[in-house]
A and B are shown apart, each in its own frame.
Chain A
Amino acid sequence: MRIPYSAALLVPRLPNRWDLLAMPLVFGVLFALAWSARQMAVPYQFGTPLPLSLDLVALPYYALRTTLRMVLALGLSLAFTLAYGNLAAKSRRAEQIMIPVLDVLQSVPILGFLSITVLWFVQLFPGRLLGPELAAIFAIFTSQAWNMTFSFYYSQKLLPSELRQVADLFRLGPWRRFWRLEVPHAVPGLVWNTMMSVSGGWFFVVAAEAITVADRTVLLPGVGSYIALAIQKRNLAAIGWAVLTMLVVIVLYDQLAFRPLVAWADKFRLELSRAEEAPTSWFLNVLCRTRWLHALARLPARSGTWLTLRLARWHGAPHWQPSLPELARPRLPSGHWLERLWTPLLALAAAASIVALAHFVLEEAPLAEVGAVFLYGFCTLLRVAVLTLLAALIWVPVGVWIGLRPRLAARVQPVTLFLSAFPANLLFPLAVIGIDRAHLNPEIWTSPLMILGTQWYILFNVIGGAAALPNDLREVAVSLGLRGWALWQRVLLPAVFPAFLTGGLTASGGAWNASVVAEVVSWGDTTLRATGIGAYIAQHTAHGDQARVVLGIAVMSLYVVLINRLFWKRLYDYAQRRLALD
């Protein structure tokens, strides 16, 4: 039954029973985050160990601190996304440099950023814990910001011209245009990318909480450092409790943040057709039924509108700048000096950077070592390639089998997302114990750790791809009597290939990132070391050898960029051309 709109307007704004349910939840979370934030700025001398304990009672508090870091990093990433993405989308000249920079940043190993920035942050806030805290938050930021920004930038670029014309026709000012048109249009992509990034971020927050730099270990209170301490003390029970705590945290994150947001974002989809099955979330439903919280949530939007109206009256007329390219400020004439010099200037800056970087690195490391680093990179490349292939061989058939069963797929897909959010590095100690006891070769057997957390992306995407296979294609296959290998070769594999590429690219990118913590693993004083560029970076981070860390990171980024360009991008293009279903 539809309630007439005007009647709905008249209902008094009193809290209802849904408010009673949701308010404690929402304010509880806010309070907890605020309280733990105060603990961040306590005095601290770099290198002195913090009083951490393996007490079970301390775990919830540590989990809170870990979550707080995630939340702060997310806020930072969001602000960065809106500012950077907006500028890149609107200024042609800025775009020319900002997008390639972003592309490179995306391929830099995230834990590599940490090794470089932690000393800088410590010096920025001497004698305070805020330095290492900010370094950890910055590391998480680097795991989220780049692909969120890309998502926002592409949404801006793909804004339908008709909607832009409507905004122009009704003379929406820049502020309104941004919040009414540009941001809402970006929401579905942005929310999805954000949530995937946050899922990936748990891995890095755990890794960033316990880091050894310049032979000194910084342990920030959190689940990650709890685990690090447990590893040091060979306390298996503590590891079990930490894993359990993290499971609870991720369940809460999944239920209270991820799913409500994805369900909410569905309303911003551009396609006017209704989705077969819209995502749902019980928590979002509760929030929607509340009355007071609802009103509270509208406050920022209301005050923004109020402010613009005030400003508009103040200035007499609303400031209005047309957004259409035809109406925008005329471009500089092609003979203008800035226009002619822009590209050479950029090239010059790039060349200067290369010279400075080479100088910085070669002062410390001889040329032969540079060659060795490339060789280490190749070792890691080999691991990543073999593991991605193995994961594909296992998960593609499984994913197709699940994806063709819609009800099963609907149940398994959220589970795979959950698994991909779970920080796999918590499980590394178990692997070390196993490898150590069975006297296995660490060069081979530490490798699977790299893909432990990211293999789920393959499964998730393949299930999605198989589930999207149009029913009439399946029926044609059945009526033609296709079965066995012919069915896989002609129908199933081509159908899931584009989705597999997305999963495979994410999984292999994650594996490169994980190599920094997976090629050197320890349990108490047992340390297993594999040859690879991840181990090289980890080792020199521990000794604070900045030049070699930079060298390692640069080489790894180079490998990642090359593999993306030469391998994944080509496959993508091929899939786009030949296998797209529409």
Chain B
Amino acid sequence: MNDNVLLELRSVGRRFHAPQRGDSLILDGIDLDVHQGEIVALVGRSGCGKSTLLRIVSGLMPPTNGTVRYRGQPVTRPVPGISMVFQSFGLFPWLSVLENVELGLEAQGVAAAERRQRALQAIDMIGLDGFESAYPRELSGGMRQRVGFARALVVNPDVLLMDEPFSALDVPTSETLRNDLLTLWLERQIPTRAILMVSHSLEEVLLMADRVVILDSNPGRIKQELPITLRHPRDEAAPAFRQLLERLYSIMTGVGSSLVAIGLGHPLPKAGATQMTGVLGAIAAGGGERSLADLADDLEMDASDLFPILEALELLDFARLSEGHVQLTPHGRGLLDADIQRRKAIFGEHLLRRVPLARHIRRVLDERPGQQAPRERFLHELEDYMSPAEAERVMTAMINWGRYAEIFEYDAGTGLLLGTDAGTLVG
């Protein structure tokens, strides 16, 4: 075995239990080594299990298959050498900044005096001096995440895990914090030997990582790894950077199951009708075809926000994705040119033609004498394919689309889906 390897993941998988259809996979066969001195970033579309993977590595959640080893030892519960920074900070509001940072040392049984000294040092290093006695609610978002970093770093972790650490912050704040962290890392002011991060922003990943691991979704598998050899400090405007970004988008477009034929249990992407029209408009403004990196820049959206919308457009046959580019279909063009009422009609038509769940709901409603059925009924059917939380999300997305397209109505008070005459199945 190589001494250089800190983390070693071997065919790691995670299933969840679905009552009728047997188990369904969230993560499958993940093989990954994290070496000393590298920052590895995990990216993928929403629902690819990247946060789950991070929790498995941290020991917070056991894998259902495979093993995680840290310095050769299997990880079955949190270990002292691995620390983590959370997306929404995870600060205890009733503890002061100092107490929050000390918390990590408390459980290790470090004596009070040493604990205080080390915590003050970490606070100082991360640029929080002066705020020791403040409570989290007195701090801005950026300052709060600094506390999160200080708490993670005070235990001198070998491996630092970061779960979208900058996504809850505004752009300038996250940029500053990212640069500060990179400086500490590059100048070896922290003893951390490796960083494994999950990110939703491809730009952020390219600014920080030495290696990007792209995960496929449903189930989450490693699709490709991309080494990044750009020298620090990296320049977002440099041609090489742009090329890598386009490349990353291009890999991401190939991710996800093919859309030729989707089943009833397809996890519908989270995208509103208005958002979809807006993105279509932006594609049209670029001449009907655009590169995703461009589009994301133009709309000021992160990859994780943009991809669900693109996925929805592709699903409904309004746009087509290939090789990091998106292209308007004739139907998409038609939708853009239509007026509000006509748009709804086109949307409804495509919904019934392309989305089995919509077709199924419509058929059930038509068969019933009163043209009504409880939401719960469909929710239970979805739970055969996915976790209850995911089923709830998909059902909400479906109802929003259905209401917009007027293929059915929904009464939140009674929880009933009701048929409308406009949406009766043709043929």
Give residues in A with beta carbon < 8 Å to B.
2, 4-6, 8, 162-163, 165-166, 168-173, 176, 180-181, 184-185, 187, 267-274, 305, 309, 312-313, 318, 320, 322, 324, 326-327, 574, 577-578
Q: Could you tell me the distance in whole angstroms from the C-beta of B82 to the nearest C-beta in chain A?
A: 8
In the assembly, what is the distance between CA of A170 and CA of B106, in Å?
9
Closest A residue to B103 by beta carbon equals: A170
Nearest opposing residue in chain B for A309, CB measure: B109
- Cα-based distance from A378 to B224 in the complex (angstroms): 73
Q: Tell me which of B84, B91, B94, B103 contacts A267 (CB under 8 A).
A: B94
Chain A hits for B135, CB < 8 A: 267
In Å, the complex CA distance between A486 and B61 comes to 55
B412 within 8 A of A: yes
Provide the bound-state CA to CA distance between A162 and B60, in Å.
11
Stretch of B136-144, B378-386, B394-402 lying at the A interface:
B136-144
- 1/0 per residue B358-395: CB within 8 Å of A? 00000000000000000000000000000000000000
A173 and B107 contacting across the interface, CB-CB below 8 Å: yes
**What residues of A have a CB within 8 angstroms of the CB of B144 in the complex?**
272
Q: Specify which chain B residues have a CB less than 8 angstroms from the CB of A577 in the assembled complex.
A: 412-413
Q: Which 4 A-B pairs have the closest CB atoms?
A: A5-B132, A166-B90, A184-B94, A268-B94
**Are B92 and A163 interface neighbours, CB within 8 A?**
yes
Which of B61, B107, B138 has the largest count of A CB atoms less than 10 A from its CB?
A: B107
Chain B residues positioned under 8 Å from A4 (CB to CB): 130
Do residues B92 and A170 form an inter-chain contact, with CB atoms below 8 A?
Answer: no
Q: In this complex, what residue of B is CB-closest to A2?
A: B130
Contacts of B120 in A (CB 8 A): 6
How far is the CB of B221 from the nearest CB of chain A, in Å?
Answer: 21
**Which residues of chain B are within 8 angstroms of A271 by Cβ–Cβ distance?**
93, 137
Q: A165-B60, A268-B94 are in contact. Are A170 and B155 (CB under 8 A)?
A: yes
Considering only CB atoms, which chain B residue lies closest to A166 in the complex? Answer: B90
Instruction: Pick the contact of B61: A162, A184, A326, A578 (CB < 8 A).
Output: A326
Task: Give Cα A274–Cα B86 distance, bound, in whole angstroms.
Answer: 22
List 28 A-B pairs, Cβ < 8 Å. Answer: A162-B87, A163-B92, A166-B90, A166-B92, A166-B103, A168-B60, A169-B58, A169-B78, A170-B104, A171-B80, A171-B108, A173-B107, A176-B106, A180-B95, A269-B137, A270-B93, A272-B91, A272-B137, A272-B144, A274-B138, A305-B106, A322-B77, A322-B78, A324-B60, A324-B61, A326-B60, A574-B413, A578-B413
Distance, CA A318 to CA B108, complexed state (A): 8
Knowing A173-B107, A272-B144 are in contact, say whether A326-B62 is a contact too (CB < 8 A). yes
The yes or no answer to B133 lying at the interface (CB within 8 A) is yes
A5 in complex: contacting residue of B62, B86, B92, B133, CB < 8 Å: B133
Nearest CB of chain B from residue A172's CB, rounded to whole Å = 5
A327 to B60, CA, bound (A): 7
CB of B83 closer than 8 Å to a CB of A: yes
B61 & A8 in contact (Cβ 8 Å cutoff)? no
Contact B93 A272 (CB under 8 A): yes
Nearest chain A CB to B156 CB, angstrom units: 13
How many whole Å from A303's CB to the nearest CB in chain B? 13
Give chain B residues whose Cβ lies under 8 Å from the Cβ of A185: 94
Given that A165-B86, A577-B412 are contacting pairs, would A180 and B103 also be in contact in the complex, using a CB cutoff of 8 Å?
yes
- Cβ distance A272 to chain B, nearest Cβ, rounded Å: 5
Q: Are B109 and A8 in contact (CB under 8 A)?
A: no
B107 touches A318 (CB 8 A): yes
Measured in the bound complex, the distance between the Cα atoms of B133 and A6 in whole Å is: 10
A166 vs B142: C-alpha distance when bound (angstroms): 19
The residue in B55, B58, B88, B90 that gathers the most chain A C-beta atoms within 10 A of its C-beta is B90
Known A268-B94, A274-B138; 19 more pairs at CB < 8 Å = A4-B130, A5-B130, A8-B133, A162-B90, A165-B60, A165-B84, A170-B103, A170-B104, A170-B155, A171-B80, A171-B108, A172-B106, A176-B106, A180-B103, A272-B136, A272-B137, A320-B77, A327-B60, A577-B412
Residues of B within 8 A of A273 (CB): 137
Distance A305 CA – B106 CA, assembled complex (angstroms): 9
Query: Which residues of A have CB within 8 Å of B91?
Result: 272
Does chain A have a CB within 8 A of B98? yes
B42-74 interface code vs A (CB 8 A; 1 in, 0 out): 000000000000010011111000000000000
Interface string of B389-424 (1 = CB under 8 A from A): 000000000000000000000001100000000000
Minimum CB–CB distance from A35 to chain B (whole Å) comes to 35
Tell me if B86 and A166 are in contact (CB < 8 A).
yes
Q: A2-B130, A577-B412 are in contact. Are A162 and B55 (CB under 8 A)?
A: no
State whether A165 and B138 are in contact (beta carbons under 8 Å apart), knowing that A4-B130, A170-B107, A309-B109 are contacts in the complex. no
Tally of contacts, chain A with chain B, CB under 8 A: 97
- Closest-CB distance, B106 to chain A (whole angstroms): 7
Task: Note all chain A residues with C-beta closer than 8 A to B58.
Answer: 169
Q: Are B62 and A327 in contact (CB under 8 A)?
A: yes
- Residues in B whose Cβ lies below 8 Å from that of A169: 58-60, 78, 83-84
- What residues on A are CB-neighbors of B77 within 8 Å? 168, 320, 322, 327
Instruction: Write out the residue numbers on chain B whose beta carbons fall within 8 Å of the beta carbon of A574.
Output: 413
Query: Which residues of chain B are near A270, meaning CB under 8 Å?
Result: 93
Interface string of B155-168 (1 = CB under 8 A from A): 10000000000000
Shortest beta-carbon distance from A463 to chain B in Å: 26
> B93 and A327: CB pair below 8 A?
no
Contact present for A5 and B98 (CB under 8 Å): yes
**How distant is the Cα of A274 from the Cα of B108 in the complex, in angstroms?**
32
Interface hub of B60, B133, B135 (most chain A Cβ within 10 A): B60
Considering the complex, give the chain B residue whose CB is closest to the CB of A324. B60
> How many Å from the CB of A152 to the closest CB on chain B?
16
Q: Are B62 and A180 in contact (CB under 8 A)?
A: no
A514-B413 Cα distance, complex, nearest whole Å = 36
Roughly how many angstroms separate A269 CA and B93 CA in the complex, as a whole number? Answer: 7
Bound form: Cα–Cα A110–B364 in Å = 52
Q: Which residues of A contact B83 (CB under 8 A)?
A: 169
Nearest A residue to B64, CB-CB: A326
Beyond A170-B155, A322-B77, whether A181 also contacts B130 by CB under 8 A is: no
Are A274 and B62 within 8 A (Cβ)? Answer: no
Q: Which residue of A lies closest to B98 (CB)?
A: A5
* A4 to B131 Cα, complex, angstroms: 9
Q: Which residues of B contact A8 (CB under 8 A)?
A: 133
A-side contacts of B132, CB under 8 Å:
5
Closest A residue by C-beta to B414: A577
Residues from 84 to 129 in B contacting A, C-beta threshold 8 Å? 84, 86-88, 90-95, 98, 103-104, 106-109, 120
Contact B412 A172 (CB under 8 A): no
Alpha-carbon distance A185/B94, docked complex (angstroms): 8
**Which of A171, A181, A272, A318 is the one whose CB lies under 8 Å from B78?**
A171
Q: Mark B299-327, 1 if CB is under 8 A from A, else 0.
A: 00000000000000000000000000000
Residues of A within 8 A of B78 (CB): 168-171, 322
Report Cα–Cα, A498/B405, bound state, in Å: 33
Measured between beta carbons, the chain B residues less than 8 angstroms from A326 are 60-62
Interface residues in B162-204 by Cβ distance below 8 A to A read none
Whether A172 pairs with B93 at a CB distance below 8 angstroms is: no
Among B95, B108, B137, B413, find the residue whose CB has the most chain A CB atoms closer than 10 A: B137
**Of all chain A residues, which has the CB nearest B56?**
A326
Q: Are A172 and B107 in contact (CB under 8 A)?
A: yes
Closest CB of chain A to B335's CB: distance in Å? 33
CB distance from A279 to the nearest CB of B (A): 15
Q: Are A184 and B62 in contact (CB under 8 A)?
A: no
CB neighbours (8 Å) of B90 from chain A are 162-163, 165-166
Query: Given that A2-B130, A322-B77 are contacting pairs, would A327 and B61 also be in contact in the complex, using a CB cutoff of 8 Å?
Result: yes
Q: What chain B residues lie within 8 Å of A312 (beta carbons)?
A: 109
Q: How far is the CA of A312 from the CA of B412 in the complex (A)?
A: 54
**How far, in Å, is B163 (CB) from chain A's closest CB?**
9
Query: B349 → chain A, closest Cβ, in Å?
Result: 32
- In the complex, what residues of B have CB within 8 A of residue A324's CB? 60-61
- Complex-state Cα separation, A259 to B92, whole angstroms: 24
Nearest CB of chain A from residue B100's CB, rounded to whole Å: 9
Is B92 within 8 A of A184, CB to CB? yes
Determine whether the beta carbon of A176 is less than 8 Å from that of B107: yes
